[in-house]
Amino acid sequence: MSFQSIFRPGLFDGQVVLVTGGGTGLGRCTAHELAALGAQVVIASRNADQLAQTSSEITSDGGSCDSVLLDLKDEASIDEAMQTVLARHGRIDGLFNNAGGQFSAPAENISANGWRSVIDVNLNGTYLVTQAAFRHWMRDNGGAVVSMLADIWNGYPAMAHMAAARAGIDNLTKTLSLEWARYDIRLNCIAPGTILSSGMTTYPESVQDFTVEQTNHIPAGRLGTESEVSAAAVFLLSPAAAYIRGTTLRVDGGEALQKRRLMPVTGNPATSAFNGFHRQPNLAGSKLEHLAPDN
């Protein structure tokens, strides 16, 4: 079985796409789809075992996947990773800034070190990887960049550090879209809502319980799938998005539009879902197991 993408086969033939955080979660899913569409995918993170596992999956599915170690907090590591990609594959046509990290805590409990760490990984890491791709390849050859955001539009209680960092990425993307337009570099973002990804199971049970409860207030009546996020990233990396620059595509089932005080949404029937990923995350045993859509 292979990835059931809605995009045509061979869409990314001859292209090299770097996916940070590509060993797990949404990055893993997107790497699978890009490889299924013909891309030479390079996945990057600090975890060699996760990279090896996903690379093996993609290869066994008939795709082409390489991996490089990359630390978002280390400029030298980022630079070395870019040089390695170019030495092995000769180009970097696309970049998906998927990697990031955060933890749940009220703002008054976030230490200075915790704040700096999340800002460093999410905002600074995205900037440094994007700048490195620009310097090493895209300035002279053009390219497409997609960066990961979240549903930050009305604030994000218990994750002030993450929300601040992601808001910075949103504005950074707009700014670079203006500065780098003359180099034919397209930069955009995707902003997922609550997605049934393996990353959800890393949060405490209290967060999982809240996620289950909040599902009743999503206009789409369900959580999103990994392949619905992947499809958005792939679209923005594709030639079809050639005239789309500096924008953010929300993949949230209408969650960001929720106006609960004016029009309560409670218990809408689940809408149809797109499940193209043939290696769905294993949610067995978690509080989220029963939320996976059937279609």
Q: pLDDT tens digits, residue range 68-100?
A: 999 999 999 999 999 999 999 999 999 999 999
Helices and strands (H, E) in the chain, number of each type: 9, 7
Q: What distance in Å separates the CA atoms of residue 204 and residue 209, rounded to the nearest whole number?
A: 9
User: What is the rounded end-to-end Cα distance, in angstroms, of the chain?
Assistant: 16
Instruction: Tell how strand 185-192 and strand 94-97 pair up.
Output: unpaired
Q: What distance in Å separates the CA atoms of residue 26 and residue 32, rounded to the nearest whole number?
A: 10
At 111-155, the pLDDT tens digits run 999 999 999 999 999 999 999 999 999 999 999 999 999 999 988
The pTM for the full model equals 0.88
Q: What distance in Å separates the CA atoms of residue 230 and residue 23, rounded to the nearest whole number?
A: 14
Q: For the chain, which residues score pLDDT lower than 50? A: 261-262, 295
Q: Which of 149, 126, 140, 154 is nearest to 260 (CA)?
A: 154
Q: What distance in Å separates the CA atoms of residue 248 and residue 172, rounded to the nearest whole number?
A: 12
Domain ranges across the chain = 16-291
pLDDT score, position 261: 46
CATH of 16-291, one of 1.10.10.60, 3.10.450.50, 3.40.50.2300, 3.40.50.720: 3.40.50.720
Contact 5, 81 (CB under 8 A): no
